[in-house]
Chains A and B, each alone.
Chain A
Amino acid sequence: MKKFTALLLTFVLVFSFVGCGAKDTDAKSEGVMTYAEYEAAALESPVVIETYVQAKQSWWEDKATVYTQDKDGAYFLYEMACSAEDYEKLTKGTKIKVTGYKGEWAGEVEVMDATFEIMDGNYVAEAMDATALLGTDDLIKHQNKFVSFKGMTVEDAGDGSAFLYSWDGSGQDGDDLYFNASVNGQTYTFTVESYLCDNTTDVYAAVKNLKIGDTIDMEGFLYWYEGVNPHITSVTVK
């Protein structure tokens, strides 16, 4: 019994030490805003956030544009200062601390002129089903989040085809793809943003193979440009 008690105490001790060593990586550091504080911050004010990389859109001349999200909300980081070396480190789920200014461009709220540092921690967001929110005022509350749209029907993109290269069909392979899909009698426009998902990706190929009348499930980021303009990252034909 004594042996058993000693063993039990040892285990308890070991686990309590392990517990002491583990940090709550979800907790915000000193001076870092919660999502609610970020949301409430005035445009053009300085912001400091901790968030997790969900997708990288582009890198050019030491500037990175990145979709990020924590468990409470999403943040679009526009042209954040970032070396090519650091850009490689920004894998899906990577936790980063970002210091910049809150801005808005054509309805898209974003963090601008930012710098960042990589932190310990990892989080990959599950897609939130936003199908029922389409066309409602509540949709904007989820701006930039990773979302899904389910059971939608592909509609005419404008010239009898299921998609267009560029918004009016003026583009060519490699440009953004635009397509329409409906649910509950309402049609919405979706985009495959070519910097986020270029013409070598599965989603680009999937959209090029769409046919009017297909029923599809989609995932993507809830981007905004003069209204909702989801940047789709996956399409599944049902």
Chain B
Amino acid sequence: MKLFKIVKRDEASKLIFFLTPILAIILTLIFGALIFYFLGFKPLEALKFFFIVPINNVYGFSELLLKATPLCLIAIGLSFCFKSNNWNIGAEGQLTFGGIVSGGVALLFYGQEGFYILPIVVLAGAVGGMLYALIPAVLKTYFNTNEILVSLMLVYVSKLLLDYLVVGPWSNPEGFNFPETRQFSESARMPILFEGLRIHAGIFIALAAVIISWVVFYKTYLGFQMKVSGFSLKTAKYAGYKGKTMILLVFMISGACAGLAGVGEITGPIGQLHRMISPDYGFTAIIVAFLGRLNPIGIIFASLVVALTYLGAETAQIFLQIPKYTGQVFQGMILFFLLASDYLLFFKIKFLGMKKNELRH
């Protein structure tokens, strides 16, 4: 006798829509414990060092916010693209290019001070990311080219460009040939919020992005158009939406956000350009966007959770010699489980045994 049957829901469940991300995180923890066990670590102790120790003090918590800031900002940008069915997966490249442009501008002001410098540097980064994202967008709209592949190829190109600049023309003349530029002047740095911590004013840019995107998504015609295009491109065409303009626009927004995240990194904790300005924030933000359900508020929580995997991986490496890539494995698993649990949105499990008992009574 079959105990249960899988039935299609008439309507996707709203409650489950926001519960499944939590389910995905729980499943990731369980499977993560299993992985630790097979690697020869005590699962509970490993999880403790991964998810609790990193944030059990003020410094740790501020580091969490520091890492969540770029993730949140990029994911907000990406959700514009993903909502409207545009697969920009090259945010890492847009972050890098934004970092290059703003870093270049910051170097122009080397040794100078002035209140006007930081806004120019920030703007340069946003424009840089925006222009870089326009490449896949223009190629998609006017040349029918697959944006997934183009945006991804551009990641490699931007990283090589950064490498060229910091080794070659922009390298610090007094830097003993280290692959890095000069330190930016104090006026080109993001203000630090609290003495002794690394958390900087970039977090306000991320919060502004959250608010603006919330308004755009739920209160404007553009948000509605994006939603319709996401559900069905045919319907969007039929309704007469200007598809091409929208594609260009969402890519520009997304690129600008990634560029701003790049600015935050180089003018915040780093303070110069070097080879590694981002530990793959651009790719990880894809997971953040999905985990947050493309919802600005959801993305805030998701960015905190995913930022914790970064911190946890560092802590676990220091204390338990667990390889730092475990963080990436966790990130991949979260996305797997999230996608898998989406099944519950459209299907429900009906237990058949129960009904028979009810009839007998």
Whether A associates with B in a native complex is no
Q: Which residues of B contact A (CB under 8 A)?
A: none
